[in-house]
Structure 1
Amino acid sequence: MLPKPFLTFWAAKLTAELAVDSLPFVQQMAERDRQGAVDYLKGASRRYTKVRAEIGSMAHDAFERLARGEAVGHVHPDIQAHVRHFREFLAAVNPELVRAEDVAWSDEHEYAGSFDAILRIWVDDEHQVTPDRSGRPMLIMADWKTSKDVHAEVALQMAAYANADRIVSPDGTSTPMPHFDGAAVLHVTEDQWSFYPVRIDADVFEFFLSLRHVFNWDREANKTVIGRKLAASTAKLVTGTQRRAR
């Protein structure tokens, strides 16, 4: 529900780059099938997003297995670096996995979503992680991101999870959502990993609820505000000039 005008320019840039980088191929395609060439170019952003989503799904699957203590051997070449960095994260932070890939469900506000993990980490008085677990324990909502950057919208997503009413397990049973001491996002790319704290306080959650209301407008309420026609023209006016032109 947040406006993202930059996506228009991003998609246009990908299309332009594809056209320039594959100009002879596109020209040959256009000579045989103009519409096919158009479809090939305009699908550039969709294909890129699909590939990135597949990489993200593979990485998330491996991350969950590693967090659960499962031995992960051979993985797809596209996520080998991601898996190596996640192992480094586990060694550096030494979190305790409390829940993973369960559904956060809000009865009050009517939304649901699958969160990546609930972790327990330990920090010292300076809020620095103590991997030997000698510091103060903190229960946090955690999210894994494999995108190019971490965007502020992750706070809205995690605030929604943390403020849901209950957790729904794969077998359908529910448990109350616990109280969290905070939240953090793990950003893993091919080059590095970083672990960031994320605000999920009442102010952030209120912004999420505002967008939830906008969702209701976009999907339902906007269809109810324009009523049936009270009156309308009965026939289109034909002028004398139009009649003579016939």
Structure 2
Amino acid sequence: MAGRIRTIQRGGSRWYVDPATAVKYPGVTSVIAMLPKPFLVFWAARMAAETAVMSLAAVASIAERDEAGAIDYVRHAHLRYTKIRAKLGSDAHDLFERMARGEYVDRVHPDLEPYKVGFAAFLEAVNPELVRAEDIAWSSTHEYAGSFDAILRVWLDAEGKPTPDRSGTPHLLIVDWKTSKSAYPDVALQMAAYSHADLIISPDGTSEPMPEFDGAAVLHITGEDWQFKPVRADDEVFAVFLTLRKVFVWDRETSKTVLGRAIAKSARRLVTGTERRAR
């Protein structure tokens, strides 16, 4: 059984570590990162192009003093954007947890205000009960772990619509908050991984079995609107996640073992005396 968990970064991936046993499992999002995403190449290229064109004078000014610096400024445009969005997303998640726990939140940064308004509207329209938040899902069976956003109990009518007066049938849902421009299909892989884990581990290291869920959902909330959508997290979706778990092992471990040393190769090029003297 896992104990009090800490996280580390290794090779661009997040790992969850049980200090008591030294067991180390990759994070759910790091496993899902094994999905091919060729569109990101074009997105990063577009970000670089837009930066170069829209900041032409600034780029030219930098280039006069530091050509390599100007190149780095343009080619890292997508990383700067991602960092800003990640900070906003992290702050929004913190805000959502506080509000879901019933904490009164007064003033927030102007960038967060639309998210505060949207989440308040969600709480009023759905009136969920917060069961757990920001705890760790741990799977010894399949060797992965991850921090989920929330477990909510919501009351739904016969058509699957929320009944904020809680007159409908209670449903236990694993839920993810998304503040990106869109809610992408890979959220289903996240929800399947969390809901099929063995344990929930609290910050103090205590654990309990992962409950049986009635479903999964994503709250996609932006600066303009919000949507609460059901998400498939069944065995079929979970099987895809487990395939990516195998791909993760290939990428980080097996691929480094498949090529042996050369048993035959071309002779080294002859270095002449003239070449040696010229060095």
**Alignment TM class, shorter chain as reference:** over 0.9
Q: CA deviation at 1:194?
A: 0.5
Alpha-carbon distance in 2 for matches of 1:125, 1:186: 21
Q: Classify 1:37/1:226 alpha carbon distance in 2 versus 1 (closer, same or farther; 3 Å).
A: same
Q: What is the rounded CA distance, in whole Å, between the counterparts of 1:233 and 1:190 in structure 2?
A: 61
Is 1:118 the equivalent of 2:132? no
1:131 is matched with which residue?
A: 164
Quick check: which one's helix share is greater? 1
Q: 1:14-93 to 2 correspondence within 5 Å?
A: 14-93=47-126
Which one is further off, 221-230 or 67-76?
221-230
**What's the TM-score, normalizing by structure 1?**
0.94
Aligned partner of 2:231 among 187, 191, 198: 198
Separation (CA, whole Å) in 1 of partners of 2:184 and 2:213: 21
Aligned to 2:4: none
Report the equivalent of 2:178.
145
Q: How far has the Cα of 1:237 moved from its partner?
A: 7.0
Equivalent residue number for residue 104 of structure 1:
137
Take 1:175 and 1:235, find their aligned partners in 2: how far apart are those partners?
Answer: 62
Gaps of 5+ in 1: 239-246
Higher relative contact order, chain-length normalized (CA < 8 Å, sep 6+): 2
Percentage identity across aligned positions?
64
Measured in 2, the distance between the counterparts of 1:225 and 1:54 equals 39
Alignment of 1:149-168 (within 5 A): 149-168=182-201
**What is the TM-score with the length of structure 2 in the denominator?**
0.83
Question: For residue 73 of structure 1, what is the amino acid of its counterpart?
Answer: D
CA RMSD, 1 decimal: 1.1
Report how far residue 32 of structure 1 moved: 1.4
Q: Secondary structure of 1:77's partner?
A: coil
1:219 to 245, 252, 255: 252
Deviation larger for 59-68 or 22-31: 22-31
Aligned length: 238
